[in-house]
Amino acid sequence: MTNYFVSRIQKDFNNNNTYFGGVLTSTNRDLPENLDFLHKSALTGGLDFKHQWKNRMYYVGSNVVFSNVAGSTNAITNTQQSISHLFQRVDASYLDVDPNKTSLSGTGGNLQFGKASGNWRFETGATWHSPELELNDIGFMRQADDYRHYAWLSYGSTKPLKKLRAYQINYTHLAAFDFGNNLNNLGFNVNGWMNLNNNWFINGGVNYQPVIFSNYALRGGPRLNTGKEFNYRNGITTDNRKKLRFSLNHSFNWELENAYKQFQVSAGITYQPTNALQVSLSPTYGVNDDKLQYVTTDGFNDEARYINAQINQKTLSFPLRIDYIIKPNLSVQFWGQPYISKGIYNNYKYITNSTADNFKNRFELYSNSQISNNNGTYEIDENVDGTMDNSFGQPDFSFIQWRSNLVLRWEYIPGSEVYLVWSQDNSAFGNINDGLIEGLSNNTNKPQNIFLLKATYRFM
């Protein structure tokens, strides 16, 4: 039995140029003994503020959030060791896992100042998440133990030129640290877009990150230097006023020592024969070639072994969306996606110096005499004495999924609505020897169906 509560209050002042607000959420569970790994209670809240002046050209804003989670020692230990926190990291001297804790409290927030109108625009600010902040019972938080500064500068114009209707160019930089004052990310980005006279849009950008360290890549091991990354992306979209329109987008990430390469291309086709009906298809294909993909953690002679490998991963998806307005107060939406991702691992290695500047100095590659595949189980004889030191299952995978949502919306009186939702999920692990298209067609698992009914009523 679980109760979720969410509340929000906001008050505007000064001709709506200033507001103060607050939010409070709670999660409370009546847990049987076998679910004591969950939090018994989670309380989160925050205050936010924004002030604008000169016809809302300039603004300053801030928010502060807090969290408190409570439960059994098992639940709080799990939270401290979860992927969002990793208090057990071997080189994080400022963090410790306390197995006797029954609660955990943390804070976060941001401060920002910027200019929101005119040809020149900018924003600068800072954010933080303390190591103990935990928002995932009712919200979403990917990472704690982080504070960062960022700045964004933009120049754009909607004054038509000879071949352009409008354009904008942006510059961004950021620096991110953990609470041990380690610099984990330094990045610089330039991007922009153009709206041509025929109403086509063209966009592109480049990104350079000379510093990237991950506190999470080794799942509780030391922070890992993942190298220096260069990224570019570009795209084009045809006139969105037309019944038939297209888009094409491409991105490429490259680590400068070839530690990894990532490529993705996606296309979009949208057809809108009437104002009431729109159909769009967005096939996407991606390749991930990463030479330091985490596999497992083991030990040898009382030393931890963080085992990594090179992964060659290919991903294919075909999102389909249909929107149909039957009447102004009655509509139906459908979204469905066949999806497959296949990953093959090779070149197994273990980390020796996770923060080394040179890529090849961060690991030791297992030789053929040290590692062997025994019917799907990799066995490691590190000192080649004929005795197995470590073993782990073959990590190769082919994940196949069909997921869809069908939503019927009826606004029975103005501002009050009823939603009927049918959600279907069909997920399976397929044969790694199948190709991507072949793997999609071989998914014959029984689907899981979920039906939801939501009703709202507007009082004023």
Residue 329, pLDDT score: 95
Burial pattern 6-20, b for ≥16 Cβ within 10 A else e, equals: eeeeeeeeeeeebbe
Whole-number pLDDT of residue 8: 96
Which pLDDT score is estimated for 444? 64
- pLDDT for 428 equals 87
The pLDDT value given to residue 443: 66
The structure's pTM equals: 0.88
- Residue 401's DSSP bridge partners are 339, 427
Model pLDDT, residue 12: 95
Residue 282 · residue 267 · CB < 8 Å: yes
How many angstroms separate the CA atoms of 418 and 44, rounded?
A: 29
Residue 371: predicted pLDDT:
93
Q: What are the structural domain ranges in the chain?
A: 1-152
Q: pLDDT (tens digit, 0 to 9) for every residue of the chain, 460 residues total? A: 999 999 999 999 999 999 999 999 999 999 998 999 999 999 999 999 999 999 999 999 999 999 999 999 999 999 999 999 999 999 999 999 999 999 999 999 999 999 999 999 999 999 999 999 999 999 999 999 999 999 999 999 988 888 899 999 999 999 999 999 999 999 999 999 999 999 999 999 999 999 999 999 999 999 999 999 999 999 999 999 999 999 999 999 999 999 999 999 999 999 999 999 999 999 999 999 999 999 999 988 888 999 999 999 999 999 999 999 999 999 999 999 999 999 999 999 999 999 999 999 999 999 999 999 988 899 999 999 888 988 999 999 999 999 999 999 999 999 999 999 999 999 988 888 887 777 777 766 788 999 999 999 998 7
Give the containing element (helix H, strand E) for 76: helix 73-81
pLDDT at position 239? 96
